Structure 1
Amino acid sequence: MGVQGVSDTKAVSTSIDSLRAAIPKHCFQKSTSTSMSYIVRDIALVCTVFYMGTQIQYAPTFALRCALWALYSVFQGFVFVGIWILAHECGHQAMFDNGTVNDTFGLIMHSFLGVPYFSWKYSHARHHRYTNHMEKDTAFVPAQKDGNHLMAKVQDKVKHVFHMTEDAPIVSLIFLIGHQLIGWQTYMLCYASSGYKSLALSKDPRTTSNLSHYSPTSPIYLPSQRLAILVSDLGLLAVGYGLYYATQVMGLTQVALLYGLPYLWVNHWLVAITYLHHNHGDAEHFEQGTWTFEKGALATVDRDFGFVGRELFHGIIEFHVVHHLFPRIPFYHAEEATGAIQPMLGKKYIRDNTSFLKALWKTFTSHHYVVEHETKPGVLVWAK
């Protein structure tokens, strides 16, 4: 399976400073020309594939048109994800030296894909700050046995109704499809899977109703961030109007096929990538007293998605651990930076080369909740 996992006997003795020192200094340097070349390349790819999509209507048979639309949606979905990741890099200020330039390009690219740029930027920054913290992480905080986790309770109820076992494939498939299709919107609208101390303001998300990433007054954000949230919403309104205008010119069906289908693929890949970065049999989670930044960052996972992962997804799947340690390293230096620190991390470095989609199914069907580690107080591991 190609897994390098956590060792109970070999602890990481390296600090963030020593890891930083091991990485060549140029890996931390941003190149305006290189960053712009990736943005121009991905926009050119979107436009090229879009043009090819507009020609599908002229295919001679219905069956051929269906096959071409399926092919178009998959490939344009890949390219859209590439755009999403470049905006993600801008959110980390990892594309350009100038913060305003980062935010301008990030706002444009994320708005195009229906993402409220600043809203996501602020909550995502706290995810990086408190990765795998059971109370303060903002995303994919796992359920605990007999805990107050909505999705775990719903799955148990459905399985009981259908009189199926814990490992019933059909039930797991239904929930996996739902997880992939609406997981992103659920997080953006309801702050689902977040820790109960993860809000910027001192409130418990379990007892708070206004948890939308689109609301400037949400306790997810500080009062000083509200104007930026409003700017994010205005960006989405502009794109929404653009799509409305496109339907008047091209028709609703054509816009749904050209934009809507790839958008669904973006949802799928975005949720799958993020989920598999933070769910693995060797990835530990930590309670308040035992969590440290280093422990949380090193409990993330590098995986492999071949050509698509490295070229179209900009290596975000393959080199995610170093991104959590040093999120301002430009993605085009992440492979070199990973190679520099991996020998220092030893078995603390988690890499799983299992087929990506196979890993998604295996992880989703086997990792339901975490339990206390048998010998490490304050450390939680996935129940077997």
Structure 2
Amino acid sequence: MSLNYSSHPSAETKSGSINKNVSIQTLRNAIPAHCFKPLYRWGLWYLFRDVALMMGVMASAYHLIPMINSSIVRFVIWILYGYLEGLIMTGIWVLGHECGHSALFPAESPNHVTGFLLHSFLLTPYFAWRSSHRRHHIYANNVAKDHTYVPPSKEEYLSRISSFKQNAKNVEDIIEDSPLYTLCRIILQQFAGWPTYLVNNITASSGSLSKAHSKKFLGTSHFRPSSSLFRPEEANLVIISDLGIGAMLALLWYAGQFVGTKSLFLLYFQPYLWLNHWIVAITYLHHTHPALPKYDDDSWSFIKGATATVDRNLGWTGKHLLHDVADYHVIHHLFPHMPFYYGEEATKAIKPILGSYYREDKSHPFIFGLWESFTQCQYVEPDDPDADPGEQTLWYKGGPSPPPVYSMRR
């Protein structure tokens, strides 16, 4: 089904509600049973394939690129290496993400050992991230409790830019960004978003547990065992995550003694910057789109929150290197324990049931999706402020110019 959007969602989905006859069990019954069963052979295949590919590309770059005589050609090849290796590393991070959902292997222990090793190698505190990510899945798109890319309300947005408030007649007067300013915001998010999230969980809702101790040093950090992100019994797991990061940093320092600081940056940290970009961009675009609803605590339900995300298209790269992490995200929120390699089959099974409430935007190039979300998704407000608390749906609002009309396939 193809729907056209301008500045507002269509009347068909204006309420943001799901057909009351559709339940999680209804959707589960429509999906072939094998889609819920991780297999060792597939998990091991993707694991060994990705690790071998990463190490092979890294070794080839280390030995071959310095042999290129032309400094210009050598510079270009190093840049291309960083981009390619960054994609491969992101795919490995996605496998660690699958482990966090117990979806790569049938048993818990192999998942957690593998996820810990993969994420530690990529400077991600596995068990700490897994805990906060679990809360995101439980409360997806609940503006009071979610931990990932929770937009401000109109009032919160105004308070953040209070220096302009006295001279502004309405919010549109003070959020008209120049293209250069928007570009700078995008670059800042893509460059520093992931480490900032790990250090202080910056994208969580202002009313969530993670913000309760935000004034304390590392009070909302993934690295502090006593952070408000975690239950007291999770402290030991956070410490293990920190030890994994520490061991990897020590390994990188040791490697730098042999290959040199410059080679270490080119071989590892350059691709890591691309990894940072992809994690932030993909997660942001999963949950930020002009046609996606958000919910307050009274109107939220698990199925409404899980379906208020959007599938996007990353083409060949997304399918073969990033494991469909962007292409089939709706099904992942509905059934996070489902292995990624069944995402396409399961999505096709539930699309007829969800109908227009399955959201898919695969007509836009990825970079234009970033621009669209940055310019049109500044804050949220209810479609009907006078509606009962349990019936309100929140929608994104942007600047003074109406969003361009586009086609969003569903």
Q: If the TM-score is normalised by the length of the shorter chain, which range does it land in? A: over 0.9
Q: 2:370 matched to 1:364?
A: no
Q: 2:333 matched to 1:349?
A: no
Q: 2:89 matched to 1:80?
A: yes
Q: 2:383 matched to 1:373?
A: yes
**In the alignment, which residue of structure 1 is the partner of 2:22?**
14
**In the alignment, which residue of structure 2 is the partner of 1:46?**
54
Give the match's secondary structure for 2:345.
helix
**In the alignment, which residue of structure 1 is the partner of 2:116?**
107
Q: 2:281 matched to 1:272?
A: yes
**In the alignment, which residue of structure 2 is the partner of 1:191?**
201
Contact 1:116 1:214 in 2 (8 A): yes
Distance 1:107 1:149, change over 3 A: farther
Q: CA deviation at 1:144?
A: 1.3
C-alpha RMSD of the superposition: 2.3
Q: CA deviation at 1:204?
A: 1.8
Distance 1:205 1:143, change over 3 A: farther
Alignment of 1:23-34 (within 5 A): 23-34=31-42
Q: Cα deviation per residue 1:43-76 (whole Å; 9 max; x = unaligned)?
A: 0110111012112111111101110011000000
Using the alignment, how far apart are the partners of 2:58 and 2:261 within structure 1? 16
Give the match's secondary structure for 1:33.
helix
Structure 1 unaligned regions, length at least 5:
none
Contact 1:134 1:141 in 2 (8 A): yes
Using the alignment, how far apart are the partners of 2:244 and 2:161 within structure 1? 36
Distance 1:371 1:333, change over 3 A: same
Give the match's secondary structure for 2:297.
coil
Alignment of 1:103-252 (within 5 A): 103-147=112-156, 153=161, 166-199=176-209, 204-209=212-217, 210-252=219-261
User: Which residue of 224, 242, 260 maps to 2:269?
Assistant: 260
Using the alignment, how far apart are the partners of 1:243 and 1:3 within structure 2? 50
Give the match's secondary structure for 1:220.
coil
Using the alignment, how far apart are the partners of 2:54 and 2:163 within structure 1? 38
Q: TM-score, normalised by structure 2?
A: 0.87
Q: Cα deviation per residue 1:300-323 (whole Å; 9 max; x = unaligned)?
A: 110101000111010011000000
Structure 2 unaligned regions, length at least 5:
399-410
Give the match's secondary structure for 2:265.
helix
Using the alignment, how far apart are the partners of 1:352 and 1:102 within structure 2? 32
Q: CA deviation at 1:365?
A: 1.8
Distance 1:187 1:344, change over 3 A: same
Q: Which moved more, 1:366-375 or 1:122-131?
A: 366-375
Q: Which moved more, 1:84-93 or 1:13-22?
A: 13-22
Q: CA deviation at 1:148?
A: 6.1
Q: CA deviation at 1:198?
A: 3.0
